[in-house]
Amino acid sequence: MNYAISYVSTADINLTSEQIDEVLKWSENWNNSHHIKGLLIYSDGNFLQVIEGEKEIILRLFEGIKKDARHHNIIKIFGKEIESESFDDYKSDFLSEHRKYDEETLGRYLNNIQTLDQGSQKVVQTMLNAFVN
C-alpha cells in the first residue's frame, strides 16, 4: 500500500546554513536509498516536505521526523493512501532570498503532484508557491 505525508515545520533558530544543507543532502541520499520518493524544501526558516512510499515505512519515518529537534511546529498537511507515487525520486533543495526557483523547476515539482487528489494537489501547490515566491 502506497502512502503519502506532507508537512511544514519551523527550523530551529540555531541551525546554520551548512547544517541545513547537510540535512537536505542526508535526507535526499537516505530516502533515495530506501525507495522513498518526494520533496524537501527549506526556505526562510521553514521546511516543506512530501514523502511517499510503502505505508509502514512512511509512518515510521514520520514518527522519527516529529522527534527531530532540528525543527518544531510541525503541521501535518495530509497523510493518506495513494494509488501511485507522484514523484520519480526524492529531491531536496535550499531556497534563500538570493536563490529562488525558476519557473521550469517549479513546473516539474507541480507536475509531480498530479497523481494526488485535487484537494491535496491544491494544498501542495499553494505551499510550493509560498516557498518559492
Q: Mind listing the domains of the chain with CATH numbers?
A: 2-132 (3.30.70.100)
Question: What pTM was computed for the model?
Answer: 0.76
Instruction: Give residue-wise pLDDT tens across range 80-116.
Output: 898 877 777 777 665 544 445 556 666 666 666 666 6
Q: Give the burial class of 31: count Cβ atoms within 10 A of its Cβ; 0-12 exposed, 13-18 middle, 19 or more buried.
A: buried
Using CA atoms, how far apart are residues 8 and 117, in angstroms rounded to an integer? 19
Grid cell 493512501 in the structure block, residue? 81
Q: Which of 7-11, 84-88, 127-131: highest mean pLDDT?
A: 7-11
